[in-house]
Structure 1
Amino acid sequence: MRENRPLGRAIWAPVGAAVISGLVIGGLARLLMRGVALALDASTGLSLVGTVGILVVFVVLALPAAVTATARPAIMHAGRWVTAALTGLTAARTGVSDAKIIVLADDGQLMPITVLVVAFAAIVVAHGRLAQHLTRRFRALPQAPAEALRTPDARPV
């Protein structure tokens, strides 16, 4: 029999998992984007606004997987696929912004670009899985007893 868990945990576990997953995977995506730029001898500047924007997008993209982490298996897998599809489209569109550059790349640039594209695919798959794993872990954390939440008295014992 399942024990009753507070509604707050049902809400904050997926939100926290989406934030952590989005920051980790978004950070990796940002590094891979820089790697693509380096491999193509393009501009490799990292702007703070661009990086924050990418991290926020990846946090939002983790929400479908995080919210469906404890649902029935079909819904859980659908949430993971939605996250993977949206993350894949976003990473491909943002990370490889100009496909003509890749098509016209030198032979020496193709291997690093290929490795980076495969790495993008790996983080796309990992994004939803990480969000769901973290959500389940956060929901399973033991509940703090009410006594531990009270502030101690200032009187000496």
Structure 2
Amino acid sequence: MREGKRLGRVIWAPVGAAVLSGLVIGAAARLLMRGIALAVGGLTGMSLAGTVGILVVFVVLALPAAVTATARPVIMHAGRWVTAALTGLMAARTGVSDAKIIVLADDGQLTPITVLIVAFAAIVVLHGRLAQYLTRRLRTLPESPAEVLPTPDARPV
């Protein structure tokens, strides 16, 4: 029975961590995308389908980092960088599709656009780190509430 719980943690901790980090980083990315649209004076509407799609993509992209969170350091770093590379590639591809708008931006718009792009780069790197951190935390949670609370026999007299 104990082995089954351990196996469940090995499987569910990375999945839960990927979901949590994907939702957090995906939401941050969606807000930054909206910020860039505001900075260039473009359309600022956010559709529910587009937002859900972005969140799902970020959840999936967090899986390599989450799955390798407790592996040997070389594998752990490789998993983190695979997540960062895939997330960065996706972000750059999306940014290139809007490059015409950014290139034609006024000088007053360049500073906010640059700040938002740097923020986007930061969350790309943070994506893998957050997934691995959450995986390690979820794997160390107590198995049941009884492990957290002291038993009546364990109280000092």
Q: Deviations over 1:20-73 (max 9, x none)?
A: 000000000000000000000001110000000000000000000000000000
CA contact under 8 A between 1:33 and 1:96: conserved in structure 2?
no
Q: 1:135 to 1:103 in 2, by over 3 A?
A: same
For structure 1, the residue ranges without an aligned partner over 5 or more in a row are: 148-157
Counterparts of 2:26 and 2:142, CA distance in 1:
29
Deviation at 1:94, TM superposition (A): 2.5
Deviations 1:63-92 (A, max 9, x none): 000000000000000000000001111122
* Root mean square deviation of aligned Cα: 2.0
Aligned to 1:69: 69
State how 1:7-156 maps to structure 2 within 5 Å. Answer: 7-95=7-95, 97-144=97-144
- Segments of structure 2 that go 5 or more residues without pairing to the other structure are 148-157
Q: Which residue matches 2:154?
A: none
SS for the counterpart of 2:41 is coil
Would you say how many aligned residue pairs link Structure 1 and Structure 2?
A: 146
Question: Residue 145 of structure 1: CA displacement?
Answer: 7.0
CA distance in 1, matches of 2:128, 2:40: 29
Paired residue for 1:152? Answer: none
Q: Hey, what's the Cα distance between the residues in 1 that align with 2:62 and 2:126?
A: 10
- 1:103 deviates by 1.3
TM-score normalised over the length of structure 2 = 0.87
Letter in 2 for 1:62: A
Q: CA deviation at 1:136?
A: 0.3
Distance 1:137 1:91 in 2: 28
Aligned match of 1:150: none
Q: Aligned partner of 1:80: which letter? A: R
Deviation at 1:98, TM superposition (A): 1.6
Q: What secondary structure is seen at the aligned counterpart in 1 of 2:97?
A: coil
Structure with bigger helix share is 2
Q: 2-side partners of 1:78 and 1:53: how far apart?
A: 26
- C-alpha distance in structure 1 between counterparts of 2:97 and 2:119, whole Å: 16
Normalising by structure 1, we get a TM-score of 0.87
